[in-house]
Chain A
Amino acid sequence: MMDHDTIPVLAHDLVKRFGDFVAVDHINLEARTGEVVGFLGPNGSGKSTTIRMLCGLLRPSAGQALVAGFDVAREPEQVRRRIGYMSQKFSLYNDLQVIENIRFFAGMYDVPASVLHERTEWVLDMAGLAGRESTITGTLPGGWKQRLALGCAVLHRPSILFLDEPTSGVDPISRRRFWELIHAMAAEGVTVLVTTHYMDEAEYCNRLVLIFQGRIVASGSPTELKQQAMAGELLLIECDQLGPALDLLQQVPEARHVALFGKALHVVVPDAQTGIPRLRTALSAHGIAVSRIEPIRASLEDVFVSLTAQLSGQRT
C-alpha cells in the first residue's frame, strides 16, 4: 500500500478559485501517520473546499497536493482507492437498508468476497448497528446515520480518512462516541483529517489548523495554540451592565479583543498586573459595578475569536 516514509497528506500552496472568489488561498498542510488533524474555521472559510480537493473531488486551481503519495489532480483514482471520505451532508442512500448501503459501498471499494462478511460485521459492530441490518437507513436517528456513514467510508480499511463536519446535528453523547471511534482508528495508524466548528471537539485533535478566509491563520497542538496565539493575557470580567461595559472597553486602548462569553466578558490585555487596575477604574468611572476580574486560561474558543477578530480587522 503506502511506504512508511510517505507523508499521508501533503499540500503545497493549494489554491481554489471559483470565478473571482478565492475559496482556498495558498494552503500548506501536512498530516503524519496516525495523526488526527482538525480543521477549524467559520462557515465559508474554505475547510470543505480544501478537503474536497484533497479527496480529488475538486480540481485545485493552483498548487499541489499529495495524498498517500499520489497527486490529487493527476491521479485522483489512485487517491480515491486509499482514502475514506465522509461528506458534510449525510450522503448514503436513505431508501436502502443499513446492510444494503454497506454492501453497496463494499462493492464500490471492491472489498474482496473473502473478507466481506468479516468487514460487514466489523462495521455493524463499530457503528452499533448490529441487529438493525434491515432498518431503512432514512429512519435511523442522526447519530446512528453518521456512524453508518463512517462505517461505509472505512469498509476498505483506508489509511487516510477525511471527515467533513461528521458530527454536525448530532447529540453530545453520540458525538463523544463518534470521537472514540476516530481515536480508535488513529491508534491503528489511520491518518484522520476532520473539520468541525465545535470547539470542544477541537480539543480531541492532535493538531489543529485554523482556517479563515481561505488561509491558514494558525496551527499547532491545542496547547501550543492557546499559548502562542494569545498575544497577552486573558482576563475574565463579570459586571452588572454587560452591554455598556463591552462598548466602553472597546474604547480602551489597552483592551484588545473584547468579547462576550456567556454572562461575562473576555478581554485580552498585554499584562495582567497593570491591566486589571486600569480596566477596573475605567469601568467604575462609568458607574459599572465589577463583581469579578481575574486572569484565566484561554480556551480554544478564545484563541479562535481572538485570531479571527484580528484578521477581520486587518482585512476590512
Chain B
Amino acid sequence: MRLHRLIAVIRKETLQIRRDLASLLITVTMPLLLMLAFGYGVRFDVKHIPVYVYDRAGNQQSQDFLKHFQASEYFRIVKAVDDYPALIQALDSGACRLAIVIPVDFSEQLGAGGPVAVQALVDATDNNTANISLSYSEAVVQSYNQRLRLDWSHRHGLRTVPSPLSVDIRTWFNENLESTANIVPGVIAIIMAVIGSFLTSLTVAREWERGTMEQLVSTPITPLELMIGKLVPYFVIGLVDTALCAAVAIRWFEVPFRGQWTVLFLSCTLFLIVVLSLGYVISVVAKSQLAASQAALIATFLPAFLLSGFLYPVDQMPAATQLITYLIPARYFMTILRDVFLKGTSLPFLMDDLLALALFAAILTILATRVFRKKLA
C-alpha cells in the first residue's frame, strides 16, 4: 500500500463530496429528520386511552368512581353516553378503545357490601394496548377498592389493618419507564446502519456508471487503497452524524447518558466500519447506483429494525429467529448503545458484543477488498 495513492483517493473523494452539496446536505439532515420521526413516532407507552362511559347509576358515588379513571394519566374520558348502541358505535368507529358501563344498582350493591360488577368493553384489535388498558383498569378499580375499605373501617371505628405483604418496586436504568429512553438509543443504531451503508453504496457504482472506473483500474491502484480511500471520508461523515444523533438524544429527548464516551466511540467506530464496508461491497457487486442504494437500504434497515431487539427483545423471539439475530451486527450495537446510555455499563461487561462487532468489521473489510476486481468484465 502506498500512502501517496491512499491520500490521493481520500482527497479526491472528499472533493467530490464537497462539490455535491445536495448530497452532503442530505447526509446531515436525513439522520436528524429520522431521529425526530422515530423519536416522536415510535412509542410503546400507552397513555391517554380514549374512554366512553355509560353511567346507568348516575349518582354521586358512580361519578366519584369515574373520577378515578379521569385522574389517571392512562385514561381520558371522551364522552358519556346514554345507551348501549352509542357505546358499540364508538367502539366500532374507533372513537374509543375502552367503554365502561356502571350498573343501575351501583350504589345499592356497594352499600350492601357488594360485589358490584362494572363492565369494561375493550377494543382488542391491538392486543398489546388492550392488555395494557385492562391491567390499568384493574389497577384503578383496585385503588378505589382500597379507599372504600379504608372508609368503611373508619366509619366502623376499626383500626386499619396494614396489608401483610407488599412489593416495593424500584425501577432501574429508566426510572420513569419512558419508552423514549429505550427507543432513542436504538434509533441511533438504525440510522447509522441505514446512512452508513447508503453513503458507500453509491461510491463504487457511481464510478462504473460514469465510466471513470475504466481509467481508475488502468492505474496501479490496489483494491485495498481504493477501499480505505473511499471509506475514510464517509467514516468521518458517519461519526459526525453519530455525534449529531447522540446530541439530539441527550439534549432534545433527554435520554440519560450514563456510560463512558470512549465505549460509545469505540462501538460506533466498529459499527461504522461494518456498515460502510457492507455498503461498499454492495456497491462493487451492484455496479448501478439505484440498485446498490436500494439493496443497501433493505440489507440494513429491515434487520436493524426487526431483528436487532429494537422492536421486541431478542430473548422473546422464537428460538429460530433468535439464532438468526446472531448474524445481525445491529443486534450487538443495539445492546451496547442501550447499555451505555441507560445502564452506564463499563467496557468489560460489553466485551462480548464489542468483539462480535469487531469480528463483523474484520470479515466485511476483508470481503470488501476481495470482491473488487481490477477488471472490466
Chain A residues at the B interface, C-beta cutoff of 8 Å: 18, 52, 55-59, 76-77, 80-81, 83, 85-87, 89-96, 100, 103-110, 149, 152
Contacts and interface: CB of A to CB of B under 8 A. Distances in A.
Contacts of B88: none
A57 B375 contact: yes
B12 A57 contact: no
B20 interface: yes
Given A76-B374, A81-B220, A91-B214, A108 B5 contact: yes
Contacts of A58: 375-377
Nearest to B229: A107
Interface in B3-31: 4-5, 7-9, 11-12, 15-16, 19-20
A137 B360 CA distance: 40
B41 interface: no
Contact of A107 (B8, B16, B213, B218): B8
Contacts of A104: 8-9, 11-12
Contact of A100 (B2, B15, B211): B15
Nearest to A80: B220
B264 to A, nearest CB: 35
Given A93-B16, A107-B7, A110-B5, A52 B220 contact: no
Interface string B212-232: 111111111110000000000
A140 B70 CA distance: 73
A208 to B, nearest CB: 24
B210 interface: yes
Contacts of B217: 57
A77 B224 CA distance: 14
A85 B216 CA distance: 10
Interface residues of B, number: 29
A81 B374 CA distance: 14
Contacts of A55: 218
A218 B20 CA distance: 49
A110 B216 CA distance: 13
B375 A59 contact: yes
A71 to B, nearest CB: 15
Contacts of B5: 107-108, 110
Contacts, number: 85
Given A56-B374, A57-B376, 10 more contacts: A57-B374, A76-B374, A80-B219, A86-B215, A87-B214, A93-B16, A103-B11, A104-B8, A104-B12, A107-B5
7 contacts: A85-B215, A87-B214, A93-B16, A96-B16, A100-B15, A107-B5, A107-B7
A110 B220 contact: yes
Nearest to B217: A57
B15 A96 contact: yes
A59 B15 CA distance: 33
B214 A105 contact: no
A91 B212 contact: yes
A70 B205 CA distance: 31
Contacts of A81: 220
A146 B8 CA distance: 22
Contacts of B377: 18, 58
A100 B214 CA distance: 18
A46 to B, nearest CB: 14
A109 B12 CA distance: 14
Nearest to A85: B218
Contacts of A107: 4-5, 7-9, 11-12
A100 B220 contact: no
A104 B213 CA distance: 14
B139 to A, nearest CB: 63
Ranked nearest first, the 9 interchain pairs of A and B with the lowest CB-CB distance are: A107-B8, A108-B219, A91-B215, A85-B218, A87-B214, A89-B211, A91-B211, A104-B12, A80-B220
Contact of B19 (A18, A52, A87, A95): A95
A176 B46 CA distance: 78
